[in-house]
Amino acid sequence: MTVQTTETASAVEFAGVTKSYGAVRAVDGLDLRLVRGTSVALLGPNGAGKSTTIGMLLGLLQPDSGTVTLLGTTPEQAVRAGRVGAMPQSGRLIGRVTVRELLGFVRLAYAKKTKAVGRAAAVPALGELMEAARITELAGRKADQLSGGQAQRVRFAIAMAGAPDLVVLDEPTTGLDIEARRELWTVVRGYADRGGTVLFSTHYLEEADDHADRIVVIDRGRVVADGTSDDIKRRVPGRTVSFDLAGPAPSLEVLPGVVSSEVGGGRARLHTTDSDATVLALAEAGCIRNLEVAGARLEEAFLTLTHAGTARAEIRAEGGAR
């Protein structure tokens, strides 16, 4: 008999889930299982169904068909018991109160909520909560007068207040500068390293590369790829050859193996199905300054796997026809 341990038990399960808004099918037969203790990135182009998926996961939206199971129960029950923390995409922090007051209030609400289900002891002390979110020095500041990055860390602390088993972050770093993004990820990683389960959506593919154990790519409401970053990159055949340009770019797309090319910042990047032949031809043409051959990046894989790539190719073709 297989014993399902906490580590391998499901945090989230979608089975055949669909959701439409009128004629628009936002989520189309989604099957997805997230294992506890992992960090999972949900990627997809605009309109792919990420927010709708997260909305159903949090019990904010009801599926038209199929089932969503969260921590072995319904989303509503898991959320009510404080076992799920969420950072939704929108929503401002309330004003006139300090960060300490706001967090104290949320923590108290969770303490009452969790007491009802026998989890009150799990709720962290206020100081601990602020330290984990790196906002101790903001305790006396008014909650509506924070920078974007500080506000996001406070919102993360709010999501943590019920000692959740799972946190769901919907595009948590959109609009933040690099330093603020790095700070927020340090805080999120701290939670993941303590065994928490994280599901986040993002448009910054390098964040998925850096912070997710597993990446699920959705497009038009369906899963189109699911695996580690390396698994997903391997789905794109061919390699990228890049080199410094000494002068005006030669005709790159006629070189053997080359299927597409980009030129920028004095450097050319060629996507090729035969890197040996491409490199030989470049050598003959004397184009080998700082030459590098690499596998596909996550961005290339993402564009190949989703309709975002087709849309970009169409835009290029239209631009070229003008």
Q: Which residues bind ligand ATP (CB under 6 A)?
A: 21, 24, 26, 44, 46-52
**Dist. CA 88–CA 83, nearest whole Å:** 16
20 by DSSP, 3-state: which? strand
Looking at beta carbons only, is 24 or 109 nearer to ligand ATP? Answer: 24
Looking at beta carbons only, is 51 or 278 nearer to ligand ATP? Answer: 51
Q: How far is the CB of 31 from ligand ATP (least distance, A)?
A: 17
Q: Rounded to 5 degrees, what angle do the CA atoms 134, 140, 146 make?
A: 65
Q: How far is the CB of 176 from ligand ATP (least distance, A)?
A: 16
Q: How far is the CB of 211 from ligand ATP (least distance, A)?
A: 18
Assess contact for 33 and 13: CB atoms under 8 A.
Answer: yes
Looking at beta carbons only, is 46 or 251 nearer to ligand ATP? Answer: 46
Looking at beta carbons only, is 26 or 58 nearer to ligand ATP? Answer: 26
Strand stretches in 93-249, DSSP E = 166-170, 197-201, 214-219, 222-227, 239-244
85 by DSSP, 3-state: which? strand
Assess contact for 173 and 152: CB atoms under 8 A.
Answer: yes
Looking at beta carbons only, is 52 or 197 nearer to ligand ATP? Answer: 52
Looking at beta carbons only, is 49 or 82 nearer to ligand ATP? Answer: 49
11 C-beta neighbours (distance < 10 Å), count: 25
Looking at beta carbons only, is 217 or 236 nearer to ligand ATP? Answer: 217
**Dist. CA 170–CA 86, nearest whole Å:** 8
Q: How far is the CB of 198 from ligand ATP (least distance, A)?
A: 18
- Report the DSSP beta bridge partners of residue 84: 166
What dihedral do alpha carbons 3, 4, 8, 14 form, nearest 10°? Answer: 140
Q: How far is the CB of 109 from ligand ATP (least distance, A)?
A: 28
Q: How far is the CB of 219 from ligand ATP (least distance, A)?
A: 9
- Report the DSSP beta bridge partners of residue 39: 198
Assess contact for 219 and 45: CB atoms under 8 A.
Answer: yes
Q: How far is the CB of 295 from ligand ATP (least distance, A)?
A: 26
Tokens linked to 148 = 């974007």
Q: How far is the CB of 79 from ligand ATP (least distance, A)?
A: 19
**Dist. CA 223–CA 31, nearest whole Å:** 8
Assess contact for 112 and 162: CB atoms under 8 A.
Answer: no
Looking at beta carbons only, is 50 or 107 nearer to ligand ATP? Answer: 50
The β-bridge relationship of strands 239-244 and 267-272 is antiparallel
Residue with tokens 């193996």: 257
Looking at beta carbons only, is 106 or 217 nearer to ligand ATP? Answer: 217
Assess contact for 213 and 228: CB atoms under 8 A.
Answer: yes
Q: How far is the CB of 316 from ligand ATP (least distance, A)?
A: 22
